[in-house]
Amino acid sequence: MNNKITLKKLQKMKIQKQKIVMITAYDALFASIFDKSVDIILVGDSLNMSFSGENDTLSATMDQMIYHTKAVTKKTDKTFVLFDMPFGSYTDKKKALKNATRAYQETGVDAVKLEGGREKAKIVKYLTKNAIAVFGHIGLKPQSVRSEGGYSIKGRDSKEKDDIIKNAIALEKAGAVALIIEGVKPDVAFEVTNSVNIPVIGIGAGVDCDGQVLVWSDMLGFYDEFMPKFVKQYLDGGKLVGDAVEEYVKDVKSGEFPNLDYTY
């Protein structure tokens, strides 16, 4: 398909300073809506929280991610689709390749994403050598929530800032095709964006990245258990759906629905 977003187009967007827009999606219905306007759909392991009702992303499995990604790729023509490697699926390079190959073969996805900095460079290099396109995910890493005892902003002091920049450079050197940077002060994201030649997509990282990503259920108001400061809510989806369903219940209880308009 001609207008399909490719890695080359994403790279060009960085050079031409056109912002890249990424959103998460976990199913065919929403993917087909988002496909009309966004550049990248991330099938994020955040689905483990908003869709599966878990407290964090750590119990998401390869089977679960493949199921959801297949639904997304079925209904996307134009958008670049990114597969989030779940916790424990890339602990060594052989395991990472086996799982990333599954993602490529079973879902038709365009690239995979994994969390980590220079400690993951060897894995990124190995995947890249084996024709898998890899997005790195640095800064706040949601899969580290238990080992770190919570979510916290990264890059608060110069040591942490240097560390994040070194991670970005090491991942680019290892062959990463793009980076996601999460939960950092804007000056850190600015430096990272200007230190590498690959696109840098921010979430909770200020305005200076090459693009932005948000979790769809947060920005459309369907998930209110935890609402970070960086989420702009574009729709009060939970309330709209709740009100519509209440109206349906009222209509059924009162015998208003189905009237003759809805009857054969």
Site residues, ligand KIV (CB under 6 A): 24, 42, 44-46, 84, 180, 182, 203, 213, 215
CA distance 73 to 25: 10
Residues linked to residue 114 through DSSP beta bridges, in sequence order: 136
Nearer to ligand KIV, 144 or 257 (CB): 144
Structure tokens at 139: 């800064």
CB 204 to ligand KIV: min, Å: 9
CB 250 to ligand KIV: min, Å: 36
Task: Name the residue number minimizing CB distance to ligand KIV.
Answer: 44
Q: How many CA atoms lie within 13 A of 197 on its CB side?
A: 5
CB 87 to ligand KIV: min, Å: 11
Nearer to ligand KIV, 127 or 219 (CB): 219
Structure tokens at 144: 């580290």
CB 43 to ligand KIV: min, Å: 8
Nearer to ligand KIV, 112 or 180 (CB): 180
Structure tokens at 2: 């001609």
Nearer to ligand KIV, 25 or 196 (CB): 25
Using CB atoms within 10 Å of the CB of residue 67, give its burial: 0 to 12 exposed, 13 to 18 middle, 19+ buried: middle
Using CB atoms within 10 Å of the CB of residue 261, give its burial: 0 to 12 exposed, 13 to 18 middle, 19+ buried: exposed
Active-site residue among 54, 119, 172, 182? 182
Does residue 256 have an active-site annotation?
no
Question: Which residue spans within the chain are E strands per DSSP?
Answer: 20-24, 40-43, 80-84, 111-115, 134-139, 178-182, 200-203, 211-214
Nearest to 202 by CA among 194, 212, 192, 193: 212
Structure tokens at 73: 């790729």
In this structure, the number of other CB atoms found within 10 A of the CB of residue 224 comes to: 13
Nearer to ligand KIV, 14 or 48 (CB): 48
Nearer to ligand KIV, 123 or 180 (CB): 180
CB 60 to ligand KIV: min, Å: 9
Cβ distance 183 to 140 under 8 Å? Answer: yes
Q: How many CA atoms lie within 13 A of 159 on its CB side?
A: 0
CB 2 to ligand KIV: min, Å: 28
Which 8-state DSSP code applies to residue 36? Answer: T
- Which of the residues are catalytic? 182
